Amino acid sequence: MQTKPIHNTPTYIPPPIRPSPPVHQTPSSTPPTKPRAISISTPNIPVAIPIPPTIEPDDSIAAYYDYQFLFMSQRSEATRPITLSTVEGVIPVDFPTGTYYLTGPGLLTDDHGSTVHPLDGHGYLRAFTFDNVTKNVKYMAKYIRTEAHVEEHDPETKKWKFTHRGPFSVLKGGKKVGNTKVMKNVANTSVLKWGGKLLCMWEGGEPYEIQAGTLDTIGQYNIMDAVDLEDHHDESRGGDVWEVAANILKPILYGVFKMPPRRLLSHYKVDSRRDRLLTVSCNAEDMLLPRSNFTFTEYDSNFKVVQKQNFRIPDHLMIHDWAFTDTHYIVFANRIKLDVLGSMAAVYGMSPMISALRVNPSKSTSPIYLIPRFPEKQKGKERDWRVPVEAPSQLWLLHVGNAFEVRHQHGNLDIQIQAAACSYQWFNFSKLFGYDWQKRKLDPAIMNVKGGTELLPHLVQVSIKLDSDYNCQECNVKPMKKWKKSSDFPTTNPAFSGKKNKYLYAATTLGSRKTLPCFPFDTVVKLDLDNDSAQTWSAGRRRFIGEPIFVPKGDGEDDGYLLVVEYAVSMNRCYLVILNPKRIGSDNALVARIEIPSHLNFPLGFHGFWAAN
């Protein structure tokens, strides 16, 4: 059985607003090419009213509706497994048994007129369990009962009232001055199953542990301080001016604003060769200081800490994703700076707290820090890792698909990183996903700019050549030659993570829709890196997709299946699609399309994880 939904349909109904040209705000520096938003009209109708499927797909009002569908709040839960229907194709006989977990924001609007940024939306965990015997797919979905969830949701009235601002949002009305409820651990960014534990992660604190069978919330899992090992490479310098500043900030951030002392990056890595989980955490006060402390921790398959190292980078950074190889941790220096005016507005609740920070495009290059993963194995060939490799282009790194190294006969080392990156001139903390806190709506025009191929998220390949003493001989950044369209969420077969890979998959767009040419994504691209070729599978007219996930079933790199959620906005439906990666580019790439009941339609997810049984 499934529980009775609170509402029969998901809702996202912002107040009627007169159409006006969207405004795109760029960083304070003058960019070489200012991005210009595409004009998309805001309808004077509640967007929960379906737009007929026959409507012209390039109509600006339909585009606005289609975009809102991706971020409609879902208040219902599937608290017990329900069997999903396969509406096209069949689940293959060799599809592995396991569960695809997907997390992301489930609730973005409350019952008091507040709309929050998707990054501040309450975490909603979805689980698709595949049974290889019955060939059924069971579906469950539950909210993660974080502290903020418990405070903001009334279980008796089923009403929601946001009281925490969240780093990216502004609430309607309520107490602004003196509202110190800023940090809001919503556990909505990524999910991981490791060492028998199912964890939902957020960028600002500890993950929440979930019971795998029921999706019930167990509570916060203390992962960052589980074991306190000796710091192998602690470069901290006590007594300097920034250490003094940190000591002043700590009681304010930890005591007044209730920020946890350390924040865990939501992106982890799995070293398949060593069967290790790799995580990164950093100090909360580093967001306001021109120095960054990173703790890299490695766990074995039983969640036992086997290595832990601290590093201090002398720069002001905001890191979301990172990379690793057999010998290095790799940190792309997404450089930021304090915004004094933005800080004042944020403190008084007049703008999101993230307004206190801006990107820092003062360098024309992109610093990349190569941090030694096993310093004791370098045998005296030490390079000062605090001096970054300077990539000869300016990019803001979003997500890493894979990284690996090739060691040559004389000890030279080549490092390759495949990633999605965008321009400093386009990236804006408070407007990600088109969030417009002043109008309390999501504006798709912010994610779609004219002539912005190099500005928007796109796939790049970074090549670094080191000599036998780890000195940099060459570094370059090149766009993927055969695919320059807007793209993100690069991924590969997880068995090849940290190894040389031939194939890379990503969510992308064909760019054929005039009003939404760049985002949301509607296509999966498969890149053959050896042959420099690209093949695609497109979801179709007025259909969009999320992050693709590779499910391995054999030893071959493309031996398996791809899972991707499809949002058919014209039909008011969500589907889970199974693709055969070997057939991408042909007419029979789609293996099965599995339907989620319409009353359980869910918003766009962020990151997922395949857990084999």
Q: Output the known binding site for Fe cation.
A: 232, 320, 399, 607
Which amino acid, residue 121?
Answer: G
- In sequence order, which ranges of 283-327 are alpha helices (DSSP H)? none
Are the C-beta atoms of 149 and 234 separated by less than 8 Å?
no
Q: What length is written for the chain?
A: 613
Among 293, 287, 395, 306, residue whose Cα is nearest residue 346: 287
At 476, list the tokens: 């370059």
In the structure encoding, which two tokens stand for residue 130, read together?
A: 């595949």
Indicate the DSSP class of residue 266.
Answer: S
CB 507 within 8 A of CB 579: no
**What does the buried/exposed string (b/e) look like for 395-406 if buried means 16 or more CB atoms within 10 Å of the residue's CB?**
bbbbbbbbbbbe
> Considering only CA atoms, which of 120, 140, 265, 243 is closest in space to residue 192?
265
17 half-sphere exposure, CB direction, 13 A CA radius = 20
Q: Contact 516/450 with Cβ under 8 angstroms? A: no
Determine the Cα angle at 249 with ends 248 and 253, to 5°: 140
How many Cβ atoms are within 10 Å of 461's Cβ, its own excluded?
A: 18
Annotated binding site: 232, 320, 399, 607
Cβ atoms of 306 and 280 closer than 8 Å:
no
**Alpha carbons 8 and 81: distance in angstroms, whole number:** 18
One-letter amino acid identity for 214?
T
Q: Is the dihedral of CA 183, 189, 194, 198 positive or negative?
A: positive
Q: What angle do CA 106, 112, 116 make, to 5 degrees?
A: 40
Maximal C-alpha separation, the chain: 70
Closest CA to 335 of 392, 384, 397: 397
Burial of 417 (0-12, 13-18, 19+ CB in 10 A): buried
As given in the structure block, the two tokens for residue 189 are: 């960014």
The three-state DSSP-derived secondary structure of 574-612 is EEEEEECHHHECECCCEEEEEEECHHHCCCCCCEEEEEE
**Does an H or E element contain 242, and which?**
helix 241-250
